[in-house]
Amino acid sequence: MSALEIADIIGIISFAVSGFLIAVHMKLDILGIFISAFLTAFGGGLIRDIIANQKPFIFTDTLPFTLVIITVILSIIFKLHKITDLEGKKAFVLTDTIGLVSFSISGAMIAHDVGFNVVGVVLLALLTAVGGGTLRDIVINRIPAVLVSDFYGAVAIIIGLIIYILDCLEWINYINLLITFAFGIALRLHAYYEKWHLPKLS
């Protein structure tokens, strides 16, 4: 299994949990919960594959759909829907962070594989990471997190830049990708708990 496939699988599972938790928090019914989980898990990857002119992973393999269904069922079994005060809970923050970083890496790597320049790599990392959550938030009438959240999209941009630099130095390998993954998670969690925000106009 390639590093790209591993990043996709981790991102799908993590964002499926994130979508599940958001849907429960918004009091959606069971169909709404599955739609939220699917949109969050697949939206960014679909946007990525369309831009990169690739066959979407979710249309060529049954694994992604199976992963989301199993993740939602396990989330119900383990009573994750009992979580209250969603935005402050570690389960939501951690799964959302893992999904963000995983999809940032997979988006950047796809861009690298098809020969995009630095702008393409960074934008595809960003769109892959935030695309699913943005589609979900639009559907449930919620302001997309990337527009208001603390340092959220910035993490994806930084990851995209790191992947581009690693490619230029010919340093892309499992170890460096794992270090990038750990750095991305640490950066996002630190930014969240330290309440970092990009400047706003007043």
How close are the terminal C-alpha atoms of the chain, in Å? 48
Block means of pLDDT (10 residues each) for the chain, length 202 residues?
89 95 91 96 95 90 95 92 66 90 97 95 97 94 80 94 96 95 96 85 70
Q: Helix (H) and strand (E) counts for the chain?
A: 9, 0
Which residue bears the tokens 């603390």? 150
How far is CA 141 from its chain centroid? 19
Alpha helices in 61-89 (DSSP H): 63-77
